[in-house]
Amino acid sequence: MSDTHASHPFHGRVEDHRLVTGTGKYAADWNLPGQLYAAFVRSDRAHAEIVSVSTGNALKHPGVKKVYTGKEALAAGFTKYFVLVNWPGRGGQHIIKPPRPMLAADRVRHVGDALAMVVADSALAAQDAAELVEVEYRDLPAVVHAEEALGSGAPLLHPEAPGNLAYDYESGSEEAVNAAFAQAAHVTRLKVEISRVAPNPMELRGCTARYEPKDDTYHLYTCIQGINMMRRQFAAIADIPEEKVVVHAQDVGGSFGQRSAAYPEYVMQALASKELGRPVQWISSRAEGFNSDTHGRANTVTGELALDRDGRFIGLRLDWIADMGAYLSATGSASHTRNPSACMTGVYKIPALYGRFRLAFTNTVPVAAYRGAGRPDAAFVIERLVSQAAFELKMDPAELRRKNFIPKDAFPYKTPTGSTYEATDLHGVLERAVKFADWKGFAARRKKSEKAGKLRGLGIATVIENTGAGMFNKDQVEIEVNAAGEIHAYTVSHSQGQGHETTFGQIVADTLGVPQERVRIRQGVKVLFGNHTGGSRSTVGAGSAMKLAAQKVIEQGKSLAAEVLEAEPSQMDYSKGTFQVRGTRKKISLAELAKKRPFTVMGEGSFGSTFPNGCHITEVEIDPDTGVTEIVAYNAVDDCGNVINHTIVEGQVHGAVTQGAGQIFGEQVVYDRATGQMLTGSFSDYYMPRAGKLVRDIRMQDAPLPSINNALGAKGVGESGCTASMPSLTNAMMDALRPLGIASLDMPFTPAKVWHAIQASKK
């Protein structure tokens, strides 16, 4: 565990000086004396039995210390792993967790599946020797699409999971929905592919593992979202108590859900470190990352919305097929079942609802949480259905939304899937957005585009999502006011780019009324109870605990100051860093007090889910001759409760909108259906959104309605840009394309795909 601090003049984001001057410390910057290096031998095919692995030549390579194969991984007993879903699914069935050795032993199940690890005294020697490991395979047929994997006769990945079905989950009432559909005046149907994406954080994944024989502990120096999730997973795999796992990290160069896992590589490195008596480092390459870092989304969803004669929603049915890849990740199963089902009715009053979720194994990289973790997927389906229903009923899509919003007086609103939404101002947010985007002026803008030979579309999404409820039911923060007068605030949630040192520092400094330069945020240095950074919960959880802890500093400070000033605690006042005996001139600053009586306090609390919501209205312009699309307007009105720092919130929304737009217009992991090879394993083939080109001007307004579920009145914001941008931009695209008779088109809207659809519509 390590220290992050701000030891420079405060300008803007506290962490930026360190990060932009090359003095950050990332996974590859942890270099330990005597460390060895690991390289992994990965499957070059999608599905095959391993007939033999010959390590003789690799072992003879200079510098090689040891070569591990599946045999050693099995012997170590590392085949069990942690999965968030531990509740029964449909018919009381539990999720199927086939054993997974940390190196494939009898079979490889996806291109990139690691089957051997070479440990050598240099990274180069390890890599060269890895190429000398000879593997004999017996090829098996592969399946790379979830719907096909669940079909009859599909190749079977794990004998423990018949029909490749890992988990069958349901939410809501099938009976009630059937009854609603029987009475419907109109039904809108839609099948969508929410594509598989590769998160690609800037920092490559990596770890240095060190076994400490003195106290039998495993130390991981790696990129994380928080220490507790990593410790829990590693301990589950290695079958050791969590106390034996020590995680060290300082800066993390992006994660998006991908860096919460105790990946097999780390476990094997730790095993090697224990056996060889030296730390073992491994840093991924980008190509390796494409094939071994978890992917996101990858859902095929069929949705049906039933409406009555007045255009009111009376039922929603979702059939959700989620691709888990070859093995279950820790977070993927929850992200594709409970998460989307919690906000499955979106912002609408829909009395009857039923969702069935089937999780499939396929010969692809495992899927895990990815910015929004199922919630953008749920919003995508509902918001597309609503806009399509409006088109079919010849209604204004904003009007259909207004008509079906959960009414103001129905809050707190209990959804048919059991969530309780706290109060929101759906109408207020929509009206602001409609005005902000000049909804009424669209017809004229469309005409102008038409004159220029362009197709213009208007998209809207009104979304809500649950954030804030974590895996640990409590968040703790410790604040130490030391003898040097410094204020250190400790948390276990870990920033990966969200600017926590700035916002958490601000919360503590504002509560104490002291300059922010005096506050240091220290992440993952102490083991405390609490959640990792994910689910846009850090502000609600760790942030609230920061405030409570800072309030305790004042309380405890009053007692200590009273002792020093020979007064009663009840006589003490506190303001802007100074304690004063009421009605006298006797006073002492917090810093002076700490020099005499350094002290530490703990702030903690259990904070429930918050429900950030918003309305994003977008416009696109398509050049029909090339299929190239430009986002010509992006207007976002977001309610993320009380805003701690508007610049950071805006940055979060910009980043997430760009990420959503990336998926809608280009990002997609594509596997060849015949061979199971990844066709998009580098940045030459995999489109990453480019700043400035894709989303030119994201305009944003805050519409804060304070949350009542936490000490700050804040709601999470880190993912909302993804949740809203994906449906809004797709609705804009469909609005532009429908007049040509194009009923539906799946993401990504690449120029080629759009051009072909336009050409086909002319025939």
Contacts to ligand MCN by CB under 6 A: 201, 254-257, 371, 496-500, 503, 533-539, 543, 640-645, 648-649, 652, 655, 714-719
User: Given the complex with ligand MCN, which of 624 and 713 has the nearer CB atom?
Assistant: 713
Nearer to ligand MCN (CB atom), residue 164 or residue 544? 544
The HSE-up count of residue 695 (CA atoms within 13 Å, CB side) is 27
Please, which residue, 641 or 727, has the CB nearer to ligand MCN? 641
Nearer to ligand MCN, 203 or 478 (CB): 203
Least separation in angstroms between residue 504's CB and ligand MCN is 7
Torsion, Cα 85 88 93 97, to 10 degrees, reads 20
Nearest CB to ligand MCN, comparing residues 449 and 658: 658
Q: Find the shortest distance in angstroms from Cβ 646 to ligand MCN.
A: 7
Nearest approach in angstroms of CB 642 to ligand MCN is 6
Cβ 448 vs Cβ 385: under 8 Å: no
Question: How many CB atoms sit inside 10 A of residue 9's CB?
Answer: 7
Tokens standing for residue 700 = 């944003």
Residue 649 vs 703, nearer CB to ligand MCN: 649
**512: CB partners within 8 A, 6+ apart:** 487, 519, 550, 553, 554, 577, 590
- The Cα-based distances of 166 to 48, 233, 336, 365 in angstroms read 20, 20, 12, 15
**Closer of 270 and 669 to ligand MCN (Cβ):** 669
C-alpha span between 353 and 144 (Å, rounded): 30
Task: Calculate the alpha carbon distances from 401 to 390, 410, 480, 703, 715 in Å.
Answer: 9, 16, 50, 18, 23
CB of 507 to ligand MCN, least distance (A): 8
Cβ of residue 536: shortest distance to ligand MCN, in angstroms? 4
365 contacts 291 by C-beta, under 8 angstroms: yes
| Shortest Å, Cβ 110 to ligand MCN | 23
CB atoms within 10 A of CB 239: 11
Q: Which residue has the tokens 């020797």?
A: 129
Nearest-approach distance from CB 375 to ligand MCN, in angstroms: 10
Least CB distance to ligand MCN at residue 650 (A): 9
Rounded Cα–Cα distance for residues 320 and 417 (Å): 15
| Closer CB to ligand MCN, 303 or 655, in the complex | 655
Closer CB to ligand MCN, 332 or 534, in the complex: 534
Separation CA 709–CA 202 (nearest Å) = 34
Give the residue with the Cβ less far from ligand MCN, 67 or 224: 224
In terms of C-beta density within 10 A (0-12 exposed, 13-18 middle, 19 or more buried), how is residue 761 classed? middle
Cα–Cα distance for residue pair 532/245, rounded to 1 Å: 16
Does an H or E element contain 641, and which?
Answer: none
Q: How far is the CB of 718 from ligand MCN (least distance, A)?
A: 2
In terms of Cβ atoms closer than 10 Å to its own Cβ (0-12, 13-18, 19+), residue 498 is buried
Q: Which is nearer to ligand MCN, 374 or 543 (CB)?
A: 543
Least distance from ligand MCN to the Cβ atom of residue 512, Å: 17
Q: What is the CA radius of gyration of the chain?
A: 27
- CB nearer ligand MCN, residue 303 or residue 497: 497
| Residue with smaller CB distance to ligand MCN, 390 or 549 | 549
Q: How many residues does the chain have?
A: 763
Q: How far is the CB of 324 from ligand MCN (least distance, A)?
A: 19
What is the rounded CA–CA span in Å between residue 757 and residue 739?
12
Q: How far is residue 694's CA from residue 661's CA, in Å, rounded to a whole number?
A: 7
Residue 611 beta carbon to ligand MCN: minimum distance, rounded to whole angstroms: 12
Backbone angles phi, psi at 335, to 5 degrees: -65, -20
Closest to ligand MCN by CB, 102 vs 648, is 648
The CB-of-748 to ligand MCN minimum distance in angstroms stands at: 20
Percentages helix, strand, coil for the chain, rounded to the nearest 5?
Answer: 35, 25, 40
Give the shortest CB-105-to-ligand MCN separation in angstroms: 33
- Residue 400 makes CB contacts below 8 A (sequence gap 6+) with 311, 386, 389, 390, 393
Q: Which is nearer to ligand MCN, 201 or 264 (CB)?
A: 201
Pairing, β 107-108 against β 134-139 = unpaired
Nearest CB to ligand MCN, comparing residues 574 and 686: 686
- Minimum CB–partner distance for residue 550 and ligand MCN (Å): 15
CA atoms of 737 and 215, how far apart (whole Å): 65
The Cα angle at residue 433 between residues 431 and 434, in degrees rounded to 5: 65
Find residue 707's DSSP bridge partners.
none
- Which residue number, 374 or 681, has a Cβ lying nearer to ligand MCN? 374
Angle at 697 between CA 450 and CA 441, to 5 degrees: 40
Q: At what angle do helices 720-737 and 646-665 cross, to 10 degrees?
A: 40
* Separation of alpha carbons 640 and 637, rounded Å: 10
Q: In angstroms, what is the minimal distance from the CB of 640 to ligand MCN?
A: 4
What minimum distance in Å lies between the beta carbon of 645 and ligand MCN? Answer: 4
471 within 8 A of 227, measured Cβ to Cβ: no
Range 124-153 burial, b when 16+ CB lie within 10 A, else e: ebbbbbbebbebebeebebbbbbbbbbeee
Instruction: Using alpha carbons only, give the angle 728, 734, 735 rounded to the nearest 5 degrees.
Output: 85
CB 258 → ligand MCN: shortest distance, Å? 8
- Using a 10 angstrom Cβ sphere, with 0-12 exposed, 13-18 middle and 19 or more buried, the burial of residue 690 is exposed
Judged by beta carbon, residue 323 or residue 650, the one nearer ligand MCN is 650
Q: Is the peptide bond before 515 cis (omega within 30 degrees of 0)?
A: no
